[in-house]
Structure formats: C-alpha cells, structure tokens
Amino acid sequence: MFVDRATIVVKGGNGGKGCCSFRREKYVPNGGPDGGDGGDGGNVILFATTGEQSLVDLMYNRHYAAPSGPGGKGKDMHGRKAPDITIRIPVGTVITDRATGEVIVDMDEDNKTFVIAKGGKGGRGNPRFATNTNRAPRESEPGEEGEAREIYLELKTIADVGLVGYPNAGKSTLLRAVSAARPKVAPYPFTTLHPMVGVIEYPDFHRITVADIPGLIEGAHANVGLGHAFLKHIERTSILAYVLDMAGVDGRNPVDDLKHLRIELELYMKGLSTRPAIIVANKMDLPESAANLELLKKELASEVIEIVPVAAGVDEIGNLKQVLRNKVQEQKRAPFDF
C-alpha cells in the first residue's frame, strides 16, 4: 500500500532521577554524599532514506517513545544515557508541527537525520549540591521530561523530472523504457495508482531521477480522478515532461491535451505550468501520430520548448535521455546565471 501522509506522536525519554546517598563504610565516619546522576532520556530521531518509498509503517504505528534514562545510584554510579530510537522515512518527507502548523524540517536528502523529540536530561545527584557550608546535602533532582510533540508527515517526492500526462498517454511505458523501474502498464486509464521514481543511468554513471504519477484529467486540480492527490509529487521536480498520446487513442487530440494539462497544473499551483519543460510526443509508431505532430509543432511555433518524438511502447526513445539530461542540468545551473 502507498501512504504519503501520516500523523504520529513522538516523545523523548525522561531523564533519570538523580540519587541522594552517602558513603557508608566501616571505619569511615561521615562519608560524603555519593548519589549518582540520572541518565539522559533517549532521543527520537528521523532518518530519511531512499530505502523507504512510503509512510505506510507510520500509519499502523502512531506512537514513538524513546526509553527513559535510568536513575543514578549510590557509590557515585551515574545512569547511562538511554538509547535513541530511529524512525525511517522516505526522502522528501516534510515534517510539520501539528500544534503550530509550522514546518519543522524538510527531510530532503538521503541519510539526513533530525532529532524530532529530545530526551530529558538526567537529574543531578546530591554531591552536586555540596557547598562549603553544606557538605552533606540531601537534595537531588528528578530527571527532565522528554520533549513530546504531535507531528504531521507528508511525502512530496523529489525527482529531477516529473512525468505529466493524461491516463494512458504512456507515462509508465516511458519510465520502463528509460529506467530499470517497473511500473505497471495497461491499456486502461488509471493504471498507475501511486507515484513511482525511476533512475536513468548514463554510460558515464551520471544519474537523473524521474517520477511517474497517476494520469491527470480535466478537473484534476479540483480532485477529479486521481490526479490532485498526487500533484504534490511533481511540485518539487526541476523539470516537467509532458507525455502526449500523439495518436489520440482515447479520442482526444494532443494539442488539446497539452492545453488542458497546463491549465490543471496552473490551477493546482501558480507557476507550475511555466516551469521548464519538454514535450514527449509518444506513440509515434501509430499512423495518426505524424499529422498530429505537425499540428502540435505549429501550435507551439512561438514557444521555446523541445518536442521529442518517441514510441516508448516499442522502445524507440530517440534522444530523449540526452534531452532530459541537458534540460535538468541547464535548470540546475540556472540559479547561478544572474
């Protein structure tokens, strides 16, 4: 099952109690204070990893409490720090504080860690309260409470390229053709039910990531079809690739498809439709496609946008990999081109 949002409660362990004790030994009268400090409570740590794809585990287990620190003991025995607990989450998970609505952290990199709930400090034992005038203090501290908070986690996929298209346009077929990812392909709409990220590898070991999301239809921004819930997974891609069915197999035409896709993206999020993009003209192996390609080129004559004709279904992807790579690189450089 794919789950891209979850609410959980995290709590750091309490600090252990500081101890109040005095040294008692034969022939040693009035031994001084020797109560140990309590151990610190464990932290709850978030760990982002590409090894996780979904937040499904967090849906079943909603409470994460780190162990408390043990109390101090006599003979100056301090409590050991309690172990931390780690929650593994997919890269791209954004963490929000439920109480304030504020974003706490964006777990946007592989292997990133973040202490989401700190354990309490252990209390001090009675030797710490000794002074020149009070050499036998009877005071000691309780441990501090561990930090507790309710957090909301939302996965927003981070990939270099986001594939956008109508259902059946061939997005998943395309991802299979360019990467080792194996999304399901079938001749009916809404085959893809959740996002999947594939990796394109180049002969020089360069890699770019491509996110396939469920198909969009008119009204997607208003939650028609499956599209809306998944648009957030392309919000953060550097470039978009519009995948068009050039043969109009489902009785639409690619020029209208592109228009509608752009409208849906813009309605969902301002500026999304003008993000750097390329157009993948798919299904060029079918007879109707050639004429439609000419119409599309005419329609886009005034725009600077690259159109790459392919037939992903028969593994003909032309120079698509190279075009994607160049466009992604161009985009990554862009912030520095003042």
Ligand X SMILES: Nc1nc2c(ncn2[C@@H]2O[C@H](COP(=O)(O)OP(=O)(O)OP(=O)(O)O)[C@@H](O)[C@H]2O)c(=O)[nH]1
The structure tokens listed for 194 are: 């959740």
288: amino acid identity, one letter:
E
The closest alpha carbon to 178, from 197, 195, 194, belongs to: 197
Select the span of 49-57, 165-173, 227-235, 256-264 touching ligand X (CB under 6 A).
Answer: 165-173
Please identify, among the stretches 48-56, 106-114, 167-175, 295-303, the one whose residues bind Mg ion according to the rule CB under 5 A. 167-175
User: What residue type is assigned to position 111 of the chain?
Assistant: N
> What mask, x for binding ligand X by CB under 6 A, covers residues 262 to 291?
--------------------xx-xx-----
By CB under 5 A, tell whether 191 contacts Mg ion: yes
Phi, psi of 171 (to 5 degrees): -65, -45
**209: contact with ligand X by CB under 6 A:** no
Alpha carbon distance 248, 296 (integer Å): 12
Look at the block and give the residue holding tokens 């409208």. 263
Under rule CB under 6 A, residue 191 binds ligand X: yes
Residues 300-329 contacting ligand X, CB under 6 A: 311-313
Residue whose CB is less far from ligand X, 147 or 245: 245
Nearer to Mg ion, 105 or 185 (CB): 185
Interacting partner of 232 out of ligand X, Mg ion, none (Cβ under 5 to 8 A depending on kind): none
The answer to whether residues 189 and 168 touch, using CB atoms and an 8 Å cutoff, is: yes
Q: Candidates 157, 192, 237, 282: give the one binding Mg ion (CB under 5 A).
A: 192
Q: Give one word for 42, left, alpha or beta, with left for phi > 0 and alpha for psi -120 to 50.
A: beta
- The DSSP code for 180 is S
> Of 185 and 300, which has the nearer Cβ to ligand X?
185
Closest alpha carbon to 230 in 250, 252, 215, 247: 215
Minimum CB distance to ligand X smaller for 169 or for 328: 169
The least distance separating ligand X from the CB of residue 258, rounded to whole angstroms, comes to 14
Q: Is 181 in the site for Mg ion (CB under 5 A)?
A: no
207, HSE (Cβ side, Cα atoms, 13 Å):
8
Sheet strands (E) in 108-265: 113-117, 148-155, 161-165, 196-201, 207-212, 239-245
Cα(234)–Cα(5) distance, integer angstroms: 16
**Quick one: 157 or 173, whose CB is closer to ligand X?**
173
Q: Note whether 168 binds Mg ion by CB under 5 A.
A: no
Closest approach of Cβ 183 to Mg ion, in Å?
Answer: 6
Q: Is 172 in the site for Mg ion (CB under 5 A)?
A: yes
Single residue of 9, 115, 185, 229 touching ligand X by CB under 6 A? 185
Rounded-to-10 torsion of CA 237, 240, 241, 244? 120
Question: Residues interacting with ligand X, by CB under 6 A?
Answer: 165, 167-173, 185-187, 189-192, 214-215, 282-283, 285-286, 311-313
Question: Residues interacting with Mg ion, by CB under 5 A?
Answer: 171-172, 191-192
